Structure 1
């Protein structure tokens, strides 16, 4: 039986509910990452004994599932775009924004799907965007490809942001610090392709990079689809 199927325990003298437990866990994760979340720390945040929480959740992994499902509500758009391409673009962009608000989310994306109500609603919104446009196997591969790109790009961006917080160096500070070494290595002539990237490539911000890459992936999906909407 999943956590969403189990009824909550009767009200105790000090009010406690899964919603309060999840909110406290998300607050801790927003402050210090997933390593800051434990049943003991969540219980302390709620001024409750740890054993009381085990009446609502069976493990930390189950708590993580609840946290992800709660944040999925932030990803679901209020209105479903009519066009499949716009629908997938909106969902991907909203996933990125949710991960920037909750940096820990990137570490929990891409594994087994969370079967909570919000996660299922996001999955339904994603799949229904195609609305019989093509066969279901093609739809599944298309969704997998878009998700793989989005999750990979989001993880890279959040990892860079985490590195900035840990080191205190911004992207440009880091580049300046490593500039002399890179210049000397490129001067050897051993890395011509890398030299072109460093000296001739256009540096774009993370939002622009994500959007361009997403559009390229959606172009590839469109090439595989049939029908006038593609």
Structure 2
């Protein structure tokens, strides 16, 4: 029985329910990442005994599942997107925006499918936009391909943000600090392709990079969704 199917215990003198538990866990994660979330810390934030929380959740993994589903409500589109490209863009962009608000989400993306009500609604909206375009296996591979792109891009962006905080250096400050070493290495002539990228490439921000890559992936998926002439 999943955590969503299991009934909550009767109300105790100090009010407690899964919604309050998850809200407290998300607040802790927003402040300090997933490492800051434990049953003991959530219980302390709610001024409750840790054992009481185990009447509502069985494991920390269940708590993470509930946290993700709450954030899936932020990702879920308000209206059904008009076509598969717009549905894919909406899913990618809203997942990125949610991950920038809740950086811990990036650590939980890409695992087993989200089975909570909001996660299922997001998947339903996405698959509905592909209805009638191709057989179900092709559609599933298309959705997986787009998801693999934006999850990877989001994780890279979040990793860079964390690195900036850890080092105290922005992207450009880090590049300047690393410049002498990179210049010496490129001057050896051993890395001509990298040298061309460094000296001739255009530096773009994370959002531009994300949007460009997304459109390229959607263009590639579109070729697979094109029906052969009959």
What band does the TM-score fall into relative to the shorter chain?
over 0.9
Q: Counterpart of 1:216?
A: 216
Partner in structure 2 of residue 144 of structure 1? 144
| Secondary structure, aligned partner of 1:28 | helix
- Aligned partners of 2:92, 2:124: CA distance in 1, in Å? 14
State the shift of 1:51 in Å.
0.2
How much does 1:165 deviate? 1.1
Structure 1 partner of 2:182: 182
State the Cα distance separating 1:87 from its structure 2 match: 1.0
Q: Which residue of 1 aligns with 2:157?
A: 157
**Which residue of 1 is the match for residue 93 of structure 2?**
93
Residues 1-230 of structure 1: matches in 2 within 5 Å? 1-226=1-226
After the TM superposition, list the runs of 4 or more consecutive aligned residues in structure 1 that deviate by more than 2 angstroms.
none
Measure the CA separation in 1 of the matches of 2:86 and 2:80.
Answer: 9
Deviation readout 1:61-94 (Å, 9 max, x if unpaired): 1000000011000001101121110111111000
- Structure 1 residue runs of 5 or longer lacking an equivalent are none
* Length-normalised TM-score, structure 2: 0.98
* DSSP-derived class of the 1:223 partner: helix
1:227: how far off? Answer: 5.0
Give the C-alpha shift of residue 226 in structure 1.
Answer: 2.6
CA distance in structure 2 between the aligned counterparts of 1:30 and 1:78, rounded to whole angstroms: 24
Stretches of structure 2 lacking an aligned partner (at least 5 in a row): none
TM-score normalized by the length of structure 1: 0.98
**Paired residues, number:** 228
